[in-house]
């Protein structure tokens, strides 16, 4: 997770995450996962996946309980473009994302 999200995770405010593509497709409901700081690789906490589903970018909510809010859809796209720079293109409305909901174990 991004370092700026660590406090939200530890407080229980952030319990949902969006992931581009299929890199994490192997994870399923009931799996235990380690949540780490993406910059330092430091373990933040352990969690269990309690829900998993797929959505196109255009359908991802911008403000829902359990996920940090975005000002609007373009703000969300701008943030995601930063996360997924390696794509070498902007996030498209039809890009697939996996939505995970998790529960902290610690």
- Output the tens digit of pLDDT for each of the chain's 106 residues: 777 888 899 999 999 999 999 999 999 999 999 999 888 889 999 999 999 999 999 999 999 999 999 999 999 999 999 999 999 999 999 999 999 999 999 6
Total domain count for the chain? Answer: 1
pLDDT in the model for residue 41: 87
Instruction: Give the DSSP H/E element, type plus range, for residue 98.
Output: strand 96-104
Residue 9 backbone dihedrals phi, psi, to 5 degrees = -70, -50
pLDDT at 53: 97
What is the per-residue pLDDT for 1?
72
- How far is the C-alpha of 93 from the C-alpha of 57, rounded, in Å? 5
What residue numbers bound the domain in which 32 lies? 3-104
In the block, tokens 């794509």 appear at 87
């Amino acid at each position: 997770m991004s370092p700026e999200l660590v406090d939200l995770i530890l407080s229980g405010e952030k319990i949902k995450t969006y992931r581009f593509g299929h890199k994490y497709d192997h994870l399923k409901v009931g799996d235990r996962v380690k949540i780490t700081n993406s910059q330092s690789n430091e373990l933040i906490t352990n969690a269990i996946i309690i829900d998993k589903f797929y959505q196109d970018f255009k359908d991802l909510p911008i403000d829902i309980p359990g996920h940090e809010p975005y000002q609007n859809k373009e703000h969300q796209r701008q943030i995601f473009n930063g996360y997924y720079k390696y794509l070498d293109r902007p996030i498209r409305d039809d890009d697939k994302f996996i939505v995970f909901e998790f529960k902290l174990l610690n």
